[in-house]
Amino acid sequence: MQITIVGGGNIGTQFAVHCAEKQHEVTVYTREPSKFQRHLLVVDQEGRIIHEGDIKTVTNDARIAFRDADVILVTRPSYAVQEVADEVVEYCNEKTKIGLMPGTGGGEWIFKKCIEKGAVVFGLQRVPSVARVIEVGKTVRAVGYRRELYVAALPHSRVAEVKTFIADIFNIDCIVLPNYLNITLTPSNPILHTVRLRTIFKDYKEGVYYKRLPLFYEDWNNETSELIFQCDEEVQLICRALRDVDLSWVKSLKEHYNSDTPDAMTRKIRSIEGFKGLRTPAVEVDDGYIPDLHSRYFTEDFPYGLEILCQIAQLIGVDVPNMNETLEWYYSIVPEGEKFRFRDYGVNDRSNLLKLYLENGESV
């Protein structure tokens, strides 16, 4: 197949390698094509090559990237996805598969015009593994590949072909979710990252500097885990309020990490191999450190992650005070930022919210 990978970062590079390794013709669509070589590598924790492949083209030309693409895999940050959707809609048709990696961030709404043109839009509940670029345009390190991947598609009637594609690319079992809401409501980075940032930088304001910052995961603490539990339960309240929708695959983070208490969650997060060594997103200045407000942890997980969960709660009349307080903390330090708004897509109540999933779903 002709496969276009949108974005040349961690996940984009990883997907490009896996698709090329399976002999698909891969185009990488990136702003800086000169940084890419044709032969790409995925290495393990010890630096050993575990996957490799030759891509066909690297380009920053939308026409070259999308005109003949059978599959388009979008790995750019959520705040940059609208620009991609505006480019793709000109070229897509009923044969086009558009994948969102991961599937959270409101992409199903952003690509709604592509669905209306007959394309299938699909997403993964979580990415295949932790991936970090070692050398831009050449090598990515991948740790902790999952045993199973979970996929949903709009329309649901085409999810089988998407499942086959993903399972073949990664040689990982792929399970079909009953509807796309099981991805939208997944409390992964939109809860995990936002709560951690709030507890680390809770006292931050202009003029505050930090002499030392904890590692993001390895120095995880019970204060963070306790707030995680509170926000996680609020996501489950949303799911229970949508009782007419099969949301059985929106698993609690307690279940996902097999941790029944805050102390157990803290120990679990600290122990995950793929999380080790990751620093808190920060910028070093003359007086110490300040939060890196340009990090994707800030620019994506709050305005295109937690924001969506809080808006859904408001649309269906569920009180989520801990999530709202976390979001309010973010806007107290980033008052002028882009964010996802359901009203931009004509959604202003429960029925408008569910319409996209009802019209294109099966188990709702």
Pairing mode of beta strands 282-285, 139-143 = unpaired
3-state secondary structure 106-150: CHHHHCHHHHHCCCEEEEECCCCCEEEEEECCCEEEEECCCCEEE
**Domain co-membership, 168 together with 195:** no
338 pLDDT above the threshold of 90: no
| Mean per-residue pLDDT, 39-61 | 97
Above 60 in pLDDT, residue 363? Answer: no
Q: Is there a single domain that holds both residue 159 and residue 198?
A: no
**Predicted pLDDT at 364:** 40
328 lies in some domain: yes
Q: Are residues 16 and 72 in the same domain?
A: yes
Give a yes or no: residue 221 inside a domain: yes
Same domain for 148 and 241, yes or no, is: no
Mean pLDDT of 99-110: 95
pLDDT at site 85: 97
Q: Do 150 and 252 lie in a common domain?
A: no
**Is 141's pLDDT higher than 60?**
yes
Is the per-residue pLDDT at 280 higher than 80? Answer: yes
Say what the pLDDT of residue 361 is: 61
Point out the domain boundary residue: 177, 200, 229: 177
pLDDT of residue 199: 98
Percent of the chain with pLDDT over 70: 98
Task: Check pLDDT > 90 for residue 274.
Answer: no
In a domain, 182, yes or no: no
173 and 196 belong to one structural domain = no
Mean pLDDT of the chain: 95
On whether both 285 and 343 belong to a single domain, the answer is yes
Residue 72 sits in which domain range? 2-177
- The answer to whether residue 211 sits within a structural domain is yes
pLDDT for 339 = 94
| Model pTM above 0.75 | yes
At residue 335 the predicted structure's pLDDT band, cuts being 50, 70 and 90, is confident
Task: For residues 171 and 258, state if they share a domain.
Answer: no
Amino acid at 15: F
Q: Is pLDDT of 270 > 50?
A: yes
Number of domains in the chain: 2
85 and 113 within one domain: yes
Specify the pLDDT at position 168.
97
At 362 the pLDDT is: 54
Q: Decide if 159 contacts 182 (C-beta within 8 A).
A: no
Question: Which of 361 and 311 is assigned the larger pLDDT?
Answer: 311
Residue type, 67: R
Average pLDDT estimate for 161-176:
96
Residue 213 contacts residue 279 (beta carbons within 8 Å): yes
Report the 10 Å Cβ neighbour count for 307. Answer: 25
CATH number at residue 50: 3.40.50.720
pLDDT at 23: 96
pLDDT at 273: 87
- Report residue 293 as tokens: 């407000």
Residues 137 and 216 in one domain: no
Overall size of the chain counted in residues? 364
Do residues 39 and 105 share a domain?
yes
Q: Of 119, 149, 177, which residue is a domain's last?
A: 177
- Inside any domain, residue 183: no
Average pLDDT value for residue range 47-51: 97
Residues 143 and 200 in one domain: no
Average pLDDT over residues 127-140: 96
Task: Evaluate whether residue 132 is within a structural domain.
Answer: yes
Does residue 55 lie within any of the structural domains? yes
Residue 135 lies in a domain: yes
Task: Show which of 155, 177, 199 is a domain's final residue.
Answer: 177
Q: Report the CATH number that the domain containing residue 264 is assigned in CATH.
A: 1.10.1040.10
